[in-house]
């Protein structure tokens, strides 16, 4: 068993980490960190559990640690659900202390030595761990992309063999993406908010790195462009997006590629039976009905039509955040980096 | 005063017609039609008034007529909130009986002799009334576009001088667009439905006619193309859409054009002080906060940025339906067609 | 294994039955019935699966039967998710054919020979099966109460030893209670509807029978009175209710009774580890966070305070409908009636 | 014209004050206060206008003042939308400076010399202004009740002649009651929260003072008791409540009393044509359809039935807050206290 911990375990993404790690077959969850005022108390006494799955009772008695290097320096892997401003320095320090950091924070995603990984799409980018280690540390940082980027990239995986030059994407994103306190009800109920800070920039930059090529030393960005418009809608979980890809591939061939798609990896506990599920139903995917497919790890795609246009949807706090980091960690372990 | 009536006065759009016509300065609302089982009863006794504005009491005592030609043959103008299957024949028959029909139904929108009008965009297309009359009838049919098309076309009006070749649009449409009974709560609550029957086809065809050129005899379609993806979101009123226009115009010039835009018409009771309102606020327009601007007749536009990308929003059952027909009728009267 | 079927398997409650029975340890789900137009087709081809749990694939290939006696006459137990108007005659005929009917329909709940059972509350009422059989049939009908009644009665179970003379209850009920098509989004979004047809009557009558005494021949109604006010709120699943009970019991004693409550039955697959969960948190129970407790079979109670007042909440389509019938069937089997 | 101002003009209730006062026939709105960081800027530059009615443009250029005594000491009346902790001292100081304070804050509601007024219910309690003035100040404080209390008291006004000894009330309250930022969307969407801090205590105490008798010197509490259970539901505006009143009056007589009810005051600009509207429709009142009745100043009542039970609903930020204070001020002026 590999000893793991969660940095920032009481927030929306932190709770998802705890949910996914509580009974993990490979990982033993031994450490939960939170703010100083929670430190020293039992997790069950400080967390305001707000997921609609039951609280994992056996984790409840863990005593919460303060969020610093020494709290996690004995672990093999630590999962970071920290806000970006805190993550920037702390994740670097933790990696320097010899710990593997699987981070959901945006701080280091675009660092040239940090792999930005979606396991089904660019597992080879983990080779950047060696680049990091060549600089003299045992630890490392591996980042997962922004929630919307992950859904987009997985939805593009079966399309990659056909090639495309430009992407246009309009998102309809869930409120959980902003955390438990992030969006007042008066702001989003009976409403659409057509702006999410920094989201469009992330969707326009991160896919180029993820789908870029790695030559053993560095990642060269993929040559396409993304134009994104990001919107918040009154949905609890599940980011939906309309995608246009500038490709000449025939629709029928593309649909067949989605049906027969298999990812280049296998055997990981959180790898769902289908990473990308294609549906023929004319009015799907829908977040409320499809977000829990594959335990929240499957991205659903439908409405493939001339244009080339389609609709993609995935669970933003599972596949798009905590589950992404956990799957990255599983890939890291299976590749013997830990 | 011009005598007018409403066909299908009890439904969602029908009630909006009644709201807008109850105290109209030019029109006297004398006739309301509904299904046979409502005919013969007072409007207030058969309508299930579900708008969030007060019921116009003085219309309540009107006795509902059956929906047929003779019920409206004495009127100058009749507004049609009929379903398309009923409208197809009945509107033709009513026009043949000498009555002007301002229709929100989709039945005749693409008929070559029927003007499909957004008053600010193509008022000259009303010339097709003469073409209709040349065929021997005093009456006529004038259609307004689909709700999403209207919001799109108005949002494009200030952009037309710059030219564009392709449009990409993703909509986030309100539930009222499907009528009072149209969408079960279990289908749309905490959900997005990425499909609205025939909506994408309408958005891809109607704008080409509206923005086409009229030479006195026929309309030649505009030469651009539209690619639409239409989605229903949990919002009561107000269609929001992300638009990409393939133009080389600089963003600053475009924004200036929106700020200084004035439509080519004036002096109509339901023409708002701004047909298109441009907002600098980074997270607007929003349906709940902006849909009632200009009494629901103003389309709000914001987030103009490189791409060229922007967000547009308008009230779907006022500007996008009943208000559109009423404004068309006001234009018709001001142009002396009635 | 006991062979079972579901009458009306495509609706909201029918789908819940299928979910709960698909992998049941005691029951083999062999028969699904629906309307004539679905009969003869595979279940997966006719059902519009709208639950947020995955479709049970191995049931999908069952060929749907028409809803009549012969379709189910070989079964041991059939679960009825039929509308009341169809259930009235058909359930009687099926029982006459020798099949045990566990019904969620309201048709026979108040029949004097039909036990109206909440297993934790009045398991002894199953003795009415013998009364039914004394009249010459092998089959029988056992009803479960209305969804709100079940939540109320379970919430009262720990209170029964203290006694009470009058109950006042105000409900806040979920939209799923009206079925998938039951409530238009325009009716309930951003709204409360303070009326649910026949609901108050059910809540005022059914508890008196359930909590009545059974002497081996008939049930004598309990001597208290219920005054209910029923309201629909914009919640997908989970009925919440404020309850006032006219008792002199001290609050602290009552809370202790809730904490230590154990039901008089045990060993049934769908009996949750807690039938009634008492929470000290000041703002719980909440439907979104607590409805899935115990797989949807636990009723949550909180805010016990002077008055005597408290708040109760339970999952209306699991504990309040399909799960109630399944638990009844498990009790019936454990009592050797089948 | 009477010069008035608003304390705390940028919040949810403050904006409602501005909406109602912008074009008031008796009052000239000259002063708006807010926090120090907004002071010195134009109102339109600091307010994030979030009402669904248009921003009153002519008020926008008012320069915001800091929230202190000197900012308002020249006014005749000031309206307070301050939080209770700030209001406690500041309102007292402003009254001492000779200004009439009409307060929506809870700070002084239960002070024995401060009238707690619903104009239709206890206009005579304004006599406590004289008691305040006998203590040597020209200014005064007049409070309006909590939002739920106001709806309850107005709904009881037609019932008062029949008498009642106990009230039981369960509320379903709107999210706007907690202010623009008060409730995270993740907390209330698809949910009910069965607790609102201090709300039950207010509903249980304030009505006794409001409906108490004033002998020219002090108010003696009314002799009935209230037992309240307060719940938040996903509704934007409009508090709905189920009420049980312990009275022996026949339902038909009570309904007749509601139909014929007229308040003891008249001629005030914000007094609606009906203070209490009784509806026969079986499923009304509903917040979305009825909250704007009488410009948001009418309380709607329906479903009167044996028990005695009924449902009441009113707009919580208009009739229940800002409109209540404005109507109080109008009553004060009409009674020549200013």
pLDDT at residue A60 greater than cutoff 90: yes
**Which chains have 3+ CB pairs within 8 A of D?**
A, B, C
Q: Do D189 and A236 touch (CB under 8 A)?
A: yes
Residue B52 confidence (pLDDT):
83
Q: What is the helix, strand, coil percentage profile of chain A, to 5? A: 35, 25, 45
Instruction: Supply the pLDDT for residue C243.
Output: 98
HSE on the CB side for C79, CA within 13 Å? 36
Whether residue D285 has a cis bond before it, omega within 30° of 0: yes
- Nearest CB to B184; choose among C181, C190, C234: C181
| Residues B282 and B329 both lie in one domain | no
- pLDDT for the residue B137: 85
Judgement on whether residues A109 and A153 belong to the same structural domain of the protein: no
- Pick the closest to residue D106 from D321, D334, D337, D333 (CA basis): D321
Minimal CA separation from A145 to chain D, in Å: 23
Percent helix / strand / coil, chain C, rounded to 5:
35, 25, 45
Is there a contact between A292 and C50 if contact means CB atoms under 8 Å apart?
no
Instruction: Label residue C57 by pLDDT band (50, 70, 90).
Output: confident
| pLDDT (average), residues C64-68 | 97
Q: Which residues of C touch B186 (CB under 8 A)?
A: 12, 50, 175-176, 179-183, 236
Could you tell me which chain C residue has the CA closest to the CA of D226?
C307
Q: Is the pLDDT score of C191 beyond 90?
A: yes
Kindly tell me the burial class for residue D209, based on how many C-beta atoms sit within 10 Å of its own C-beta (0-12, 13-18, 19 or more).
Answer: buried
Lowest mean pLDDT among A319-323, B56-60, C334-338: B56-60
- CB-based contact A183 D185, cutoff 8 Å: yes
Cα–Cα nearest to B224, from B240, B199, B198, B203? B203
CA–CA dist D64, D61 (Å, integer)? 9
Cα C75 from Cα C71, distance rounded (Å) = 9
Q: Are D175 and A187 in contact (CB < 8 Å)?
A: no
CB A247 within 8 A of CB A257: no
Say whether A234 and D185 touch across the interface (CB within 8 A). yes
Chain D closest-CA separation from residue B162 CA (Å): 31
Instruction: Work out the minimum CA distance from A271 to partner chain B, whole angstroms.
Output: 25
Q: Which residues pair with D66 in a beta bridge?
A: D34
For residues A67 and A90, what is the distance between their CA atoms, to the nearest angstrom? 9
Report the mean per-residue pLDDT for chain C.
97
Of B185, B190, B234, the CB nearest to C184: B185
Distance CA C81, CA C16 (A): 10
Contact C50 A289 (CB under 8 A): yes
Residues B174, B132 share a domain: no
Residues of chain D in Cβ contact (below 8 Å) with chain B: 49-50, 52-54, 189-190, 288-289, 291-293
| CA of B233 vs chain D CAs: smallest distance (Å) | 14
Q: What is the rounded CA–CA span in Å between residue D305 and residue D252?
A: 9
Pairing of strands D166-173, D239-245: antiparallel
Q: Are B337 and B100 in contact (CB under 8 A)?
A: yes
- Measured CA to CA, the distance from residue A306 to residue D300 in angstroms comes to 53
- Annotated active-site positions of C, please? 147, 239
Residues D127 and D259 grouped into a single domain: no
Q: Model confidence at A52, in pLDDT bands (50, 70, 90)? A: confident
Question: Given phi > 0 = left and psi -120 to 50 = alpha, else beta, which region is B304?
Answer: beta
d(CA D279, CA D293): 12
CA D331 to chain CA centroid, nearest Å: 14
Taking the C-alpha atoms of residue A279 and residue A302, their distance in angstroms, rounded to an integer, is 5
Closest CA of chain B from A80, distance in Å: 28
The domain tally of chain C equals 2
D56 vs B278, C84, D16, D72, D296, CA distance in Å?
18, 55, 11, 21, 18
User: DSSP letter at D300?
Assistant: E
DSSP state of B316: T
Closest to A141 (Cα-Cα) out of A100, A106, A184: A100
In tens, the pLDDT along A178-215 reads 999 999 999 999 999 999 999 999 999 999 999 999 99
List the structure tokens of A282: 């004319």
pLDDT in tens, chain D (338 residues): 999 999 999 999 999 999 999 999 999 999 999 999 999 999 999 999 999 888 998 899 999 999 999 999 999 999 999 999 999 999 999 999 999 999 999 999 999 999 999 999 999 999 999 999 999 889 999 999 999 999 999 999 999 999 999 999 999 999 999 999 999 999 999 999 999 999 999 999 999 999 999 999 999 999 999 999 999 999 999 999 999 999 999 999 999 999 999 999 999 999 999 999 999 999 999 999 999 999 999 999 999 999 999 999 999 999 999 999 999 999 999 999 99
Q: Taking CB atoms and an 8 Å limit, are D184 and A180 in contact across chains?
A: yes
Q: Which chains touch A (3 or more CB pairs under 8 A)?
A: B, C, D
Q: How far is CA C199 from CA A103, C194, C227, C276, C312, in A?
A: 51, 11, 11, 23, 17
In a shared domain, residues D159 and D295: yes
Asked whether residue D262 falls in the same domain as residue D326, the answer is: no
- pLDDT of B136 > 90? The answer is no
Report pLDDT for C143.
98
**Residue contact A309–B227, C-beta within 8 A:** yes
Question: Which pTM value belongs to this model?
Answer: 0.96
Dist CA B28 CA B76 (whole Å): 10
User: Can you tell me whether residue A259 is helix, strand or coil?
Assistant: helix
B189 and B329: one domain? no
Contact D191 C235 (CB under 8 A): yes
Alpha-carbon gap, residue B338 to B141, rounded angstroms: 12
pLDDT at B54 over 90: no
Residues of chain C with C-beta less than 8 angstroms from the C-beta of D286: 191-194
Q: How many CB pairs under 8 A join A and C?
A: 21
Give me B35's structure tokens.
């299904």
CATH number of the domain enclosing D155: 3.30.360.10
Task: Write out the residue range of the structural domain in which residue C80 sits.
Answer: 2-146+321-334
Q: CB neighbours (10 Å) of residue D226?
A: 20
Two tokens, residue D119: 């104009």
B285 contacts in A (CB within 8 Å)?
Answer: 194
Distance, CA of D245 to CA of D252 (rounded, Å): 15
Instruction: Say how far apart CA D306 and CA D254 lie, in whole Å.
Output: 10
Q: Are residues B139 and B203 in the same domain?
A: no
Rounded to a whole number, what is the distance in Å from the CA of C152 to chain A's nearest CA? 23
Average pLDDT, chain A: 97
pLDDT tens digits, one per residue of C72-121: 999 999 999 999 999 999 999 999 999 999 999 999 999 999 999 999 99
Check if B147 is active-site: yes
Q: What is the mean pLDDT of residues B306-335?
A: 98
Mutation target vs B (from A177, A196, A231, A280; most B CBs, 10 A cutoff): A231
Q: Which residues in chain B have their CB less than 8 angstroms from residue C180's CB? A: 184, 186-187
pLDDT confidence tier of residue A54, bands split at 50, 70 and 90: confident
C-beta separation of A151 from A202 below 8 A: no
C21 and C132 part of one domain: yes
Annotated catalytic residue, options A102, A108, A125, A147: A147
Question: Which chain C residue has its CA at the smallest distance from B177's CA?
Answer: C186
| Residues of D designated catalytic | 147, 239
- pLDDT, tens only, B156-191: 999 999 999 999 999 999 999 999 999 999 999 999
The nearest alpha carbon in chain C to A236 belongs to: C288
Select the residue of A49, A52, A190 nearest C292 (Cβ to Cβ): A52
- Residues of chain C whose beta carbon is less than 8 angstroms from a beta carbon of chain B are 12, 50, 175-176, 179-190, 234, 236
Using a CB–CB cut-off of 8 Å, the residues of C that contact A are: 49-50, 52-54, 189-190, 288-289, 291-293
Residues of C in contact with A54 (CB under 8 A): 292-293
pLDDT at A57: 87
Q: Are residues B13 and B152 in the same domain?
A: no
Nearest CB to D289 within list B50, B190, B291: B50
CA-to-CA distance for B317 and B179, rounded, in angstroms?
9
Q: How far is CA C114 from CA C131, C161, C198, in A?
A: 9, 26, 20
Task: Return the structure tokens found at B222.
Answer: 């505009």
Dihedrals phi, psi of A253, to nearest 5 degrees: -65, -40
Distance, CA of A98 to CA of C327 (rounded, Å):
53
Per-residue pLDDT at D54: 85
User: Do B34 and B129 sit in the same domain of this protein?
Assistant: yes
Residues of chain B with Cβ-Cβ distance to D292 below 8 Å are: 52-54
Q: Is the dihedral of CA C280, C286, C289, C295 positive or negative?
A: positive
- pLDDT score of A136 more than 90: no
Nearest to C175 among B180, B183, B185 (CB): B185
pLDDT tens track for C3-52: 999 999 999 999 999 999 999 999 999 999 999 999 999 999 999 999 98
The residues of A whose Cβ lies within 8 A of any Cβ of C are 49-50, 52-54, 189-190, 288-289, 291-293
User: In terms of domains, do D165 and D311 share one?
Assistant: yes
SS3 at position C229 = strand
3-state helix, strand, coil in chain D (%, to 5): 35, 25, 45
C309 vs C169: CA distance, rounded Å: 10
Rg (CA), chain D: 19
Report the alpha-carbon distance of residue B264 to residue C187 in Å, rounded: 40
Q: What share of chain A in percent tops pLDDT 90?
A: 97
Q: What is the structure's pLDDT at D122?
A: 98
For residue D12, what is the domain's CATH number?
Answer: 3.40.50.720
Whose structure tokens read 């012969």?
C70
Compute the distance between CA of residue B138 and CA of residue B126 in angstroms, rounded to an integer.
Answer: 14
Size (chain D), residues: 338
Residues pairing with B42 in the sheet: B63
Supply the ipTM of this predicted assembly. 0.95
The rounded distance, in Å, linking the Cα atoms of A136 and D154 is 75
């Amino acid at each position: 068993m590999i000893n793991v911990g969660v940095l920032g375990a009481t927030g929306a993404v932190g709770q998802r980490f705890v949910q996914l790690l509580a009974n993990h077959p490979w990982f033993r969850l031994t450490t939960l960190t939170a703010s100083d005022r929670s430190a020293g108390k039992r997790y069950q006494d400080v967390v305001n559990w707000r997921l609609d799955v039951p609280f994992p009772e056996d984790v409840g008695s863990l005593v919460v640690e303060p969020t610093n290097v020494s709290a996690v320096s004995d672990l093999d892997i630590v999962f970071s659900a920290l806000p970006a401003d805190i993550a920037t320095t702390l994740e670097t320090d933790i990696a320097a202390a010899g710990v593997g950091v699987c981070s959901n924070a945006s701080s280091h995603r675009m660092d040239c030595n940090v792999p930005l990984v979606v396991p089904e799409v660019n597992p080879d980018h983990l080779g950047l761990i060696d680049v990091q280690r060549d600089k003299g540390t045992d630890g490392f940082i591996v980042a997962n992309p922004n929630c919307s980027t992950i859904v987009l990239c997985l939805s593009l995986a079966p399309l990659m063999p056909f090639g495309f030059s430009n992407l246009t994407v309009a998102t309809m994103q869930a409120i959980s993406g902003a955390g438990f306190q992030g969006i007042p009800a008066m702001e989003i109920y009976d409403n659409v908010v057509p702006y999410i800070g920094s989201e469009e920039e992330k969707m326009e930059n991160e896919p180029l790195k993820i789908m870029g090529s790695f030559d053993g030393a560095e990642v060269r960005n993929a040559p396409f462009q993304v134009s994104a418009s990001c919107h918040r809608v009154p949905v609890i979980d599940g980011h939906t997006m309309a995608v246009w890809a500038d490709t000449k591939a025939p629709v029928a061939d593309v649909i067949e590629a989605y049906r027969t798609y298999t990812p280049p990896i296998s055997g990981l506990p959180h790898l769902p039976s289908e990473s990308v599920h294609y549906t023929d139903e004319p009015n799907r995917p829908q977040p409320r009905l499809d977000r829990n497919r594959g335990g929240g790890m499957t991205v659903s795609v439908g409405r493939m039509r001339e244009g080339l246009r389609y609709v993609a949807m995935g669970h933003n706090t599972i596949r798009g955040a905590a589950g992404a980091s956990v799957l990255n960690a599983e890939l890291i372990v299976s590749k013997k980096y830990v």
